[in-house]
Amino acid sequence: MARAGDPAALLRIRGLGKSYAAPVLVDVELDLVGGEVHALVGANGAGKSTLARLICGIDQADTGEMELEGAAYAPRGKREAERLGVHLIPQELNLIATLSVAENLFLPRLPSRFGMLDRPRLEAAARAALATVGLDGLDPWTVVGGLGVGHQQLVEIAKALAHPCRMLILDEPTAALTSPEIETLFGEIDRLRRAGVALVYVSHRMEEIQRIADRTTVLRDGRVVHTGPTAELPTARALQLMVGREVARAMSRERAAPGAVALTVEGLSRGELVDNVSFTVRRGEILGVAGLVGSGRTELLRAVFGADAPDAGRVLVGDPPRRVKIEQPSDAVRAGIGMVPEDRKEQGLLLQEPVRVNATLARLSAMTHRGGWLDLEAERGVAEQSRDAMAVRCSSVEQPVRELSGGNQQKVLIGRWLLRDVDVLLFDEPTRGIDVEAKEMVYRVLGELAAAGKALVVVSSELEELLAICDRIAVMSAGKMAATLERDECTHERIMTAAFSNYLSGPDAVLHGASA
């Protein structure tokens, strides 16, 4: 097993430091070795993604140095690093949505013949690259924008593997993948390891790290606090190193009898994605929504919120229920409904704007003078209150939100709706891509909102999360509401049986007691 200072290291990092508004990395020392998977873990904001960007030339370090196979290494851009065989698969996809899969795989080095695109050669190369990630059946000429997030993630991985590779850095590569896709990825990682490639695996999923990583480095507040064999680092100890204290694995909250109905959805439909779905959620209740990828969970929330126009059905709020016409998200907000979307960067945040703007976006009218001018001092004060309440780590509320870690961006987004004080909140994968400390904060906030009488609907791919925080769990299957289970009925088996029910036929489709 390699150790810091090992002469066999492919990449040596010494004294690396980087600051933006505040220090992000401080005196980092690390050796990365060919033929091993080296996991990089830490709380959001610990510096993991920044370190990956420095290694891949996207950003440049302020202090320190790197050596690649004994030679000075300081790439001035991503392309220069790639020419040297160092590739990054980023957490945020860098594909061009309007181009085909094949074109995305080989840009900017498309094969040509007599000055024209060599389509047969490009197609053959693309099919070979896609086969490495289990996408043998995907047409290389499919436009990337028409693919789901999971397939786009696999295309991004195939893109990196389509070129000579000495080091591959994977930043949260499984966040949008299904279990079969994850298994395909792990098989490719093992192949690369046996081929002598150095792999850096950045993830919050400790079960994955325990399974595939040879060594693990823990970062906290921009510093390396531990490097050693993964087998000698129990998950509980890793979590303690990340946050500097012991952490709880799941939320525990007092559950009171739910209050009056706050939201009623009747017969909501949108094509085949949402098919005649009805449900209610009461004040003080957390209703979970489970289901397989593609079952219609996200589409259901988007239809309720007006982000997508439903074909049929109606939404009612309050008790007695009052029908509201929701044609766009602003209608939902006026009706007292807020939503934290699955893709916070594309659908929830204005990345170029500061924390101040993002935090107060849903409550601007309360900070506007009679003449229509925004009171910037009032806005700044409100944003600072939200920052403090949500424990957002930022240099100031004027820092661009794009510079924050994923967990802190999620806190800003949730804080926005707390300021608006809506009665119904829809959460789509609220803890995806955030670390255990940020998850604790999200769980605490969900519990406090329920205790305050808010009605919450939470979509999550993590069954353990739903079982820990929800009062009831509704299960989607192929666009339909397959079952709604009370808390004492919720088990893994019952939820998964319901989730598969509408994808099966014959006796296998019976829900074994799940109540629809």
Instruction: List, in sequence order, every beta strand (DSSP E) within 56-185.
Output: 63-68, 71-72, 86-89, 112-113, 116-117, 167-171
| Sequence-ordered list of residues with C-beta below 8 angstroms from that of 28, at least 6 positions apart, any chain | 13, 15, 16, 17, 47, 51, 64, 219, 222, 223, 224
506: burial class by Cβ within 10 Å (0-12, 13-18, 19+)? exposed
Instruction: List, in sequence order, every beta strand (DSSP E) within 371-429.
Output: 424-428
Count CA atoms within 13 Å of residue 425 on its CB side: 28
pLDDT tens, per residue, the chain with 516 residues: 444 456 579 999 999 999 876 788 999 999 999 999 999 988 766 888 899 999 999 999 999 999 999 999 999 998 899 899 999 988 767 788 899 999 988 887 788 888 888 889 999 999 998 988 888 889 999 998 888 777 887 888 888 888 888 999 998 888 767 777 788 888 888 988 998 999 999 987 788 899 999 999 999 889 999 999 999 998 888 878 876 755 444 455 567 788 999 999 999 999 888 999 999 999 999 999 998 767 889 999 999 999 999 999 999 999 899 999 999 999 999 999 999 988 787 788 888 899 999 888 877 777 777 777 878 888 888 899 889 888 888 889 999 998 888 788 888 988 888 888 899 999 998 887 777 777 888 888 899 899 999 999 999 987 888 988 999 999 998 899 999 999 888 887 788 788 878 765 444 443 333 333
The span from the CA of 104 to the CA of 100, in Å, is: 6
Length of the chain: 516
**Alpha-helical runs (H) found in 327-375:** 329-334, 355-360
The span from the CA of 128 to the CA of 149, in Å, is: 21
The span from the CA of 357 to the CA of 401, in Å, is: 9
Distances (CA, A) of 250 to 7, 442, 458, 464: 43, 11, 15, 8
**Alpha-helical runs (H) found in 312-405:** 329-334, 355-360, 376-390
pLDDT for residue 1: 40
Cα 156 to the center of its chain, rounded Å? 16
Cα 369 to the center of its chain, rounded Å? 38
E strand or H helix at 115: none
The span from the CA of 454 to the CA of 425, in Å, is: 7
Q: Which CATH class is domain 262-509?
A: alpha beta
Q: Is 420 helix (H, G, I), strand (E, B) or coil?
A: helix
The span from the CA of 294 to the CA of 151, in Å, is: 12
Q: Are 40 and 63 in contact (CB under 8 A)?
A: no
Reference 511, options 296, 464, 459, 502; nearest CA is: 502
Instruction: List, in sequence order, every beta strand (DSSP E) within 274-407.
Output: 274-282, 286-291, 312-317, 322-324, 337-340
Give the amino acid at 363: R
